[in-house]
Amino acid sequence: MSSSARIVTAIAAGVILCALALYPLASLAQTAAPTAAEIQALIDAQNAQIQELDKEIAQYEKELDAVGTKKQTLQNELSKLNLSLKKSAASIAASKKKISSTQLQIQQLAQGIAVKQDSIETDAAGLAESFRQMNESEGSSLAVQLLASDDIAETWRELDSHQTLQEAVTDQMQKLSQEKQSLSEVKSKTEAKRAELLAQQRALLAEQGTLNATKKAQSELLAQTKSQESTYQKILAEKIAGKASSEAALNDLKAQYLQSVDSSQIPAARKGVFRWPLDKYRITQTFGLSSFALSGAYNGKGHNGIDLGAPTGAPVKAVLSGTVIG
């Protein structure tokens, strides 16, 4: 039988038991002067119903405890999942910031490489122009250039400056090429780092998706468990109410039984009738509003007797001749 069917059956059984608890009283009200034996039979039936209800109440209390433990476990797991999700969200946010920062570094490096490349191209153009001018001047000998010049010293300085410029530009181009190479290497490493960060981010997002799916499943299971707990609480309340009705009916039957007993069969008053049934005894619960009764054990009606504690097998004495049962 499924859990839902068992719960519906339990609810129906509780309603039937409540009706049965009141039925004997209705039957007695319609008949005249029931005998003590008839009332005793009804009392026995009520006691049997109460014992059965006690078993069912104990079973549902046990199931409620199990459901409560399961609910607490699920709530603890959800709390852990929420913490993991918060940690995952923080890690993803940090990863995004690192990726953005790395992307900016790559852009800066790319700009630096472009600047170096522009400088190299500019210097290369200047060096090419210098080589062109030198090639033109090399078409005539040095002596001819000096003799053709109005200012020999100026011509010599120009020739010397061309040579110096070529050497400086060549050195500058080599330096720029080295710097460009260095920037390119840093850019490659930074791009590799960015790729690694993106892979980490994808892994974190996948982990977050798994955590969200697990949280959803756990939340649904927790909702089902809470619903089951609520149903068990309802059934338990109905069982307890049914037991209270049965106990009330039992008390009424006992009152009727006392009224139906032939007073001539009651032992005459004499000394020693009310003696302790045990030679050595210990009162484990007093009459009336005992501490156990105040805890709600008897629905606020108090304990209708006293409880005595004794070792197993201790002889129990009867006031009159007969057999002690129960």
Quickly tell me which residue has 């002067």 as its tokens: 33
CA-angle at 182, arms to 178 and 185, nearest 5°: 140
Q: Is the pLDDT of residue 76 over 50?
A: yes
Residue 17 or residue 316, greater confidence: 316
Residue 48's pLDDT is 92
Q: What is the mean pLDDT of the chain?
A: 79
Cα Rg for the chain, rounded, in angstroms?
A: 51
> Quick one: which of 40, 48, 21 has its CA closest to 249?
21
Q: Is pTM, for the whole model, over 0.85?
A: no
Q: Which CATH architecture has domain 3-266?
A: Orthogonal Bundle (1.10)
3-state secondary structure of 283: strand
pLDDT tens track for 80-104: 999 999 999 999 999 899 999 989 9
Residue 142's pLDDT is 46
β strands within the chain, DSSP E: 282-285, 307-309
Query: 114: pLDDT confidence band, cut at 50, 70 and 90?
Result: confident
Task: Name the percent of the chain lying above pLDDT 90.
Answer: 29
CATH 1.10.287 residue window(s) in the chain:
3-266
Distance between CA 95 and CA 101 in Å, rounded?
10
pLDDT tens track for 266-287: 667 777 677 888 888 889 999 9
Neighbours of 161 (CB within 10 A): 11
Q: Is the pLDDT of residue 311 over 80?
A: yes
Residue 19's pLDDT is 44
Q: Is the pLDDT of residue 178 over 70?
A: yes
**Residue 303: what are its φ and ψ, rounded to 5°?**
-85, 130
Cα→Cα distances 205→37, 46, 70, 95, 216, Å: 78, 64, 30, 11, 16
Mean predicted confidence (pLDDT) in 234-243: 93
Residue 277's pLDDT is 85
Distance between CA 68 and CA 66 in Å, rounded?
5
Query: 134: pLDDT confidence band, cut at 50, 70 and 90?
Result: low
Residue 29's pLDDT is 47
Query: 113: pLDDT confidence band, cut at 50, 70 and 90?
Result: confident
Residue 106's pLDDT is 87
Residue 150's pLDDT is 54
Distance between CA 255 and CA 250 in Å, rounded?
9
